[in-house]
Structure 1
Amino acid sequence: AGVMLVPERKTEDGFEEHFGLNYLGHFLLTNLLLDTLKQSGTHSHNARIITVSSATHYVGKLHLNDLQSRCSYSPHGAYAQSKLALVLFTYRLQHLLTANGSHVTANVVDPGVVNTELYKHVFWVVKAVKWMTAWLFFK
Structure 2
Amino acid sequence: MEATKPYYYSKTVDLSPEEAEKRVRTELENEGFGVLTEIDVEATLKKKLNADFRPYKILGACNPPAAHQALSVEDKIGTMLPCNVILQETEDGQTEIAAVDPVASMQSVENDALRPIAEEIRDRLHTVIDHV
* Normalised TM-score (structure 1): 0.30
Between Structure 1 and Structure 2, which shows a larger proportion of strand residues?
A: 2
Structure with larger Rg: 1
Between Structure 1 and Structure 2, which shows a larger proportion of helix residues?
A: 1
